[in-house]
Amino acid sequence: MSVPTTELEAGMRVCARRRRHVEWLPYWLVVPSLSLILLINLYPFATGFLYSLRNGTMLQQGNFVGWTNYLALLTDSAFLHSLFFSALFAVCAVFGSYAVGLALALLLNKEFPARGFFRVCLLVPWIIPSIVSVISWRWMINDQTGMLNLILRQFGAGPIYLLSTEKQAMFSVIIVKIWRSFPFMMLSLLAALQTIDLTLYEACQIDGAGRWQSFRYITFPHLRDLSIVLWILMTIWSVNDFETPYLLTGGGPSNATENLIVLAYRLTFRRNDVGSGTAVAFVTLIILMALALLLLRRQSVAQED
């Protein structure tokens, strides 16, 4: 039975009016929360950027100097070294924690006695507070009274000054960061490993493939997308890591373990140079945003392939 033209036109007009009518109540309900978020995030962001364009201190805003603070960083040896150490620290932390986490995830994915107990124990570095873990490491590897040197002294060996020389201090900070970060990688990768269909490995074994071929063609392709996300997160966390280098070495010796965040803190609160400190913070933000966009684009390309 066909619908009369007049009734059809009337129904279409009603639908058009409903489409033009917008329910504003949900938007008004979101306004208070959105305003609070903008007040908490956008206002400090804009204020900090304005501070980076001035030569002020903690007590005075100072004069407007434009991009002088940013241009001065290009020739500042402390900033260039902090940039180098931040990159080294992030790269070593990402790949080191990923390698350890992946190895442990592959091990814990197998059936063996007390597997649940070992899972809980391996999460301890991630669970305990940062200040507790870093201070404990500092107590263990301290130059004279550290537990490591006390043990070496019992065996007649000389002390190891891990926090006194620049290279050894950088190595120590990186090792502590890997120790604190690998449980996150392990737990995330273990969850992904448990979603892989075991019949794929059985078919691979029937075809005569070994463990390396199974990992290369089955395990890692299933972990690729998650791995990219983990690398992005760990890179951002590593560059923004303040407590590990500051609590372990204070940025020393000779500012060898001073990353960009510790440098921004030192310039702002120790040298009372708010303009330069906030400029370093915003340069760090730009670097992280560019890196995140690059890795996210790489992820989208990998998903298309």
What are 147's two structure tokens? Answer: 């537990």
- For the domain that residue 247 is a member of, what is the CATH number? 1.10.3720.10
Q: Considering the entire predicted model, what is its pTM?
A: 0.82
Residue 120 lies in a domain: yes
Q: Is the pLDDT of residue 109 over 90?
A: no
Residue 219 lies in a domain: yes
Q: Each residue of 260-304: pLDDT tens digit?
A: 999 999 999 988 889 999 999 999 999 888 887 877 787 676 666
In terms of residue numbers, what domain contains 197?
77-273
Residue 174 lies in a domain: yes
Q: Each residue of 13-42: pLDDT tens digit?
A: 655 555 555 577 777 888 888 888 888 888
Residue 282 lies in a domain: no
Confidence tier at 120 by pLDDT (50, 70, 90): confident
Residue 186 lies in a domain: yes
Q: Each residue of 168-211: pLDDT tens digit?
A: 999 999 999 999 999 999 999 999 988 888 787 778 877 777 77
CB 66 within 8 A of CB 77: no
The pLDDT, as a whole number, for residue 180 is 93
What are 233's two structure tokens? Answer: 């997160």
Measured CA distances, 255 to 79, 113, 138, 197 (Å)? 10, 47, 17, 50
CB-hemisphere CA count at 13 Å for 160?
14
Is 72 in a helix, a strand, or coil?
A: helix
Residue 286 lies in a domain: no
Q: Which contacts (CB < 8 Å, 24+ apart) does range 193-198 have?
A: 193/105, 193/106, 193/109, 193/219, 193/222, 193/223, 194/109, 195/222, 196/222
**Residues near 167 by beta carbon (within 8 Å), at least 6 away in sequence:** 256
The pLDDT, as a whole number, for residue 9 is 62
Q: Each residue of 124-148: pLDDT tens digit?
A: 888 888 889 998 999 888 877 778 8
Residue 302 lies in a domain: no
The total domain count for the chain is 1
Residue 140 lies in a domain: yes
